[in-house]
Amino acid sequence: MSSIVTTAYLADILRDARSRTLELLHGLDAQQLIGPRLATVNPMLWEIGHVAWFYEYFILRRLYGHKPILANGDALYDSIRVAHDTRWDLPLLSLEATLDYMGRVHEALIGRLQGTLADETESFIYRFATFHEDMHDEAFLWTRQTLAYPRPALGSAAQGPPTDAAAGGLSGDAEVPGGTFWLGSPPNAPFLFDNEKWAHPVTLAAFRIARAPVTNAQFLAFVADAGYRRQEFWDEAGWHWRLGAGAEHPVYWRRDAGDDWRLRRFEAWSALAPDQPVVHVNWYEANAYCRWAGRRLPTEAEWEAAALGEPAANGGELAARKRLYPWGDREPTEAQAHLDGRALGCIDVAALLAGDSAFGCRQMLGNVWEWTRDTFAPYPGFAPDAYREYSQPLFGHTKVLRGGAWTSRSRMVRGTYRNYFGPERRDVFAGFRTCALDDDG
Ligand code: FE
């Protein structure tokens, strides 16, 4: 299960997640809150109701036995029952009525928290449902990016990016020794998702992995070398995707005169920042870049070993011990990881050296999600948690991403956290780092 936490902590994260949600809605008109019918976004008016319904269903109704607040809540907001492309056709509540529903659920959740310490069930399900809101808040950010809505005003960004945000590039590989690595979450982790259970031994050969994610400047060299037009760099599915999408460069890039490349962030175009990580590239684009560069994506186990592993005291192999975070076992600070929407975009890949892993990999958490080579699959002995559809339906056809982006919440991402999206997804805040080819992989 997960650790016991205080009711004050649970109330705090509930309030914090909700204020972020409201910030992400702010300034959008009724038409923007519905938006176009796209496979990768939801109508935001539906999505906020779904977030409230999720808390109501799993906590108020299933845990505490409350009666449903809305007569048709399940028919509107159950994401398993309501097919994605029908969500634009539902008789949704008005924004005012949706906010009222959200508020009623929120107050009931807070009201249920009695005493100083939550019990084990509450400690898990309140966090799980809050992290679910956090995940939708990240989706609201990619929705606003996809639809070129105005950049949101996030309170978290008020103090500005970290002081070394413009630290430049970081070249070179970290050398990670081989040995037995315990992939996944140990039982003593403070919180766990079902797909992280449980840590199990895998055998790794020594490998070399880039100290930093691939930058815009590096990816631009691939684009400029006609990388999107040369089939030899693409596998069959990737080439098929490229032709269908007509892709010539990353989705939010635009070439003005000559070599003047611009990047769209929300509604605004700006110069491509050379030392920021490339973002909004899909798994096919990442693999094509790798083939062009004579590199490869890390496996999920390699990524996690580079992030959390430690060298054995006698050298030569991986130690049996691993960390919760790249820098150790303590929760992220702003000097270690670019998370929580502290700036409204990426920062340079050389920033935040205090967050380096034992092997010298930087920004393994935060800034951009990182594609791995692997298809999302259950660990040995997998059993679904209370929300049975969290992981299981996505096994076998999505690809694993690790590490969290600037959009992710520091309370949720850890070194063992697994994210997963289809290989065609370019809208999520994903980049990648590469491994050297001359090792076994
Ligand atoms: Fe959901």
pTM score over 0.85: yes
What separation in Å is there between the alpha carbon of 147 and the centre of ligand 1? 20
Say yes or no to pLDDT of 292 above 60: yes
Q: In this predicted structure, what is the pLDDT of residue 147?
A: 98
Q: In this predicted structure, what is the pLDDT of residue 1?
A: 55
By the 8 A CB rule, do 412 and 405 touch?
no
Q: In this predicted structure, what is the pLDDT of residue 429?
A: 98
Question: Cα angle vertex 134, ends 279, 114, to 5°?
Answer: 160
Say yes or no to pLDDT of 265 above 90: yes
What separation in Å is there between the alpha carbon of 261 and the centre of ligand 1? 36
Say yes or no to pLDDT of 314 above 70: yes
If you average pLDDT over residues 11-27, what whole number do you get? 98
What separation in Å is there between the alpha carbon of 133 and the centre of ligand 1? 8
What separation in Å is there between the alpha carbon of 73 and the centre of ligand 1? 14
Please report which confidence band the pLDDT of residue 188 belongs to, taking 50, 70 and 90 as the band edges: confident
Longest dimension (CA), the chain: 65
**Strands, E, within 205-282: which ranges?**
207-210, 253-255, 261-265, 268-271
Say yes or no to pLDDT of 328 above 80: yes
If you average pLDDT over residues 252-259, what whole number do you get? 92
Neighbours of 188 (CB within 10 A): 10
What separation in Å is there between the alpha carbon of 252 and the centre of ligand 1? 26
Name the DSSP letter for residue 151. Answer: P
| Distance from C-alpha of 216 to C-alpha of 37, rounded to nearest angstrom | 30
What separation in Å is there between the alpha carbon of 237 and the centre of ligand 1? 29
What is the residue-averaged pLDDT of the chain? 96
**Strands, E, within 63-192: which ranges?**
173-176, 179-183
What separation in Å is there between the alpha carbon of 285 and the centre of ligand 1? 27
